[in-house]
Amino acid sequence: EFNYKDSLINYRILYPKDFDESKTYPLTLFLHGIGERGDDNELQLKYVDKVFLNPENYHNYRSIVIFPQAPLNDNWSSRVITDNPIRQVFPENENPTNSLKMVIKLMDSLSNENYVDNKRIYLSGLSNGAMGSFELLKNRPNMFASAVLICGGGNPSWAKEFAKTTPVWIAHGSDDDVVFPELSINMVQAILKQGGSPKFTLYEKVNHGSWFNVFSDPNYLKWMFSHTKN
């Protein structure tokens, strides 16, 4: 667990094979969805251990991977649930939730470690975790070499902070009725408007589980790790 000013956040850390503190490694942050919150420090691995612990990926994409877990009384996103047509609203200047603040502090701390390659810090998240990831990009636009954001959303005004600094791949299911695809489409449009060049995938006839499509795509980690900060 990570402590900051009397707050705690649980997280799991996956080290590459034969990890050696005298070498440098990429650092990857993964933010889980709303259903994986809790205090067991396990649920957040529900889907992603298949990706990062898949022997081939573990061998080919050697990275330190961080899996924090938000508690049940909090989440990664400052979004507000409303009864408007797209249901979730993202206030432009809201402070991050306590859990996201803790993740920001954790990443600030880890990115200063000698064994972390500062030019190769990566971000990914699904659903509520992708929402938190958009917010994280707003708050740390120069931290990440790339980000893969799956079935999330954010405030389009945030795009000006990271559109030109962080390559993003945004993915969504076209039939998603939990987090509407418009939320991702709005972010893609905003990034384009701000001079960014996002990768965008809309999976036809897929509802809210589009992370399964992304996780089974060999380009997921390949694309993410292909980027290095200048």
Residue-wise pLDDT for 153-169, tens only, equals: 999 999 999 999 999 99
Give the predicted TM-score (pTM) of the model. 0.96
Is-contact 68 100, C-beta < 8 A? no
- The answer to whether the CB of 133 falls within 8 A of the CB of 149 is yes
Helix, strand, coil percentages (3-state) for the chain, rounded to 5, are: 35, 25, 45
Task: Quickly state the pLDDT bin for 2 (edges 50, 70, 90).
Answer: low
In this prediction, residue 83 carries a pLDDT of 81
**How far apart (Å, rounded) are the C-alpha atoms in residues 44 and 34?**
10
